[in-house]
A and B are shown apart, each in its own frame.
Chain A
Amino acid sequence: MMNFFSRKRRSAENAKERLQLVLIHDRTNLTPAELEALKDDLIATISRHVSIDPEAVQIGVEADGRTQRLIADIPLKNITRRARMRT
């Protein structure tokens, strides 16, 4: 059940979440559009070697102290099972 009185989030939480995103962009100089382009390149390169589902690929930048980390989650397609299903 939604509580009418707690529905509005406190503003400090808002501030922190907004700052987390802004600081990552400020520190890396990487815009969301550039990150999308990087993701497309990554998918194209990896697809030349293994079979992946482009829709399932997730990429993002996370802060670890003052270091930024590029995190990519790329699930591989299970070839053997698909091959068996085709026969």
Chain B
Amino acid sequence: MTAKVVTITSGKGGVGKTTAVANLAVALAADGAKVVCIDGDIGLRNLDVVMGLENRIVYDIVDIIEGRCRLRQAMIRDKRLPELYLIPAAQTRDKTAVSPSDMIRVCKELRQEVDWVLIDSPAGIERGFKNSIAAADSVLVITNPEVSAVRDADRVIGILEAEGKGSPQLILNRLNPAMVKKHDMLSAEDVLDLLAIKLIGVVPEDSGVIVGTNRGNPVALDPKSRAGQAFRNIARRMKGEEVPFLDLEAGDGLWSKLFGRKS
């Protein structure tokens, strides 16, 4: 196996990085792929609770790096999907415990073992972010249709391009179609105009995401959830499938934008 390493990042905190990683990982694994997700937020561990695996942690990524355990021992198997694993962040250390070359080394080992490595980047553009993108083959930038989140996404996109990571793809999270219709929220088209990168999916605002997080059950496992459907669609697009953008995902005129743009 040769895994694809994908990092999800955003610049601004609280836009849904961890939720996206949990849901994309679940969607890919439910489809038969072998997936490892890595919590890149050393000191502020969260992916474990979002995935509902907080009670199973013995070792973490710093234990792997500092040689206290083997890679396999720190891979926590998901309770629902046998081909899904989590490597948690260390909670009592800070980001200086990991270096970009450590991440490259861990991912190099994982590449032989699995199909996908998804890395949950911390907010910001400092050490933890640099660690998280070091090993990435591709990067997904996630944002919300709000001025502060879009501005920070633009900064991160600029840094990724300057670091030679190529142009990332965009996840627009928590879009409220009713507000977009009233022109009280930036539409997907607006955000694409501003950021000028390729869209990989739009996730509608959905209270089910909070309910799912409360229980440690990512919504991508719920066949009726609209946000879950959007995450499943993104997972399929990550695999290279052509999945049409749902109407509820987009605003007016998005179709022509998507197909008029070849970049």
Using a CB–CB cutoff of 8 Å, the interface residues on chain A facing chain B are 10-13, 15-16, 18-20, 22-23, 26-27, 63, 65-66
Q: Which residues of B contact A63 (CB under 8 A)?
A: 196
B194-A23 in contact (CB<8A) = yes
B224 at interface, CB cutoff 8 A: no
Q: Which residues of A contact B196 (CB under 8 A)?
A: 63, 65-66
Segment 183-229 of B: residues with Cβ below 8 Å from A: 183-187, 190, 193-194, 196-197
B31 at interface, CB cutoff 8 A: no
A63–B157 CA distance with the chains assembled, in angstroms: 15
Q: Which residue of B lies closest to A27 (CB)?
A: B158
B150-A19 in contact (CB<8A) = yes
Interface size class of B (residues with CB under 8 A): 20 to 34
Segment 146-176 of B: residues with Cβ below 8 Å from A: 146-147, 150-151, 154-155, 157-158, 161, 167
Q: Which residue of B lies closest to A11 (CB)?
A: B184
How many A-B contacts at CB < 8 Å in the complex? 49
Q: Which residues of B contact A26 (CB under 8 A)?
A: 151, 154-155, 158
7 interchain residue pairs of minimum CB distance: A10-B183, A65-B196, A12-B183, A66-B196, A16-B190, A11-B184, A23-B154
Q: Which residue of B lies closest to A9 (CB)?
A: B183
Pick from B161, B182, B186, B197: contact of A16, CB below 8 A.
Answer: B186
A11-B183 in contact (CB<8A) = yes
A66–B196 CA distance with the chains assembled, in angstroms: 6
A19-B157 in contact (CB<8A) = no
A12-B154 in contact (CB<8A) = no
Pick from A10, A11, A13, A20: contact of B194, CB below 8 A.
Answer: A20
Tell me how far the C-beta of B165 lies from the nearest C-beta in chain A, rounded to whole angstroms: 14
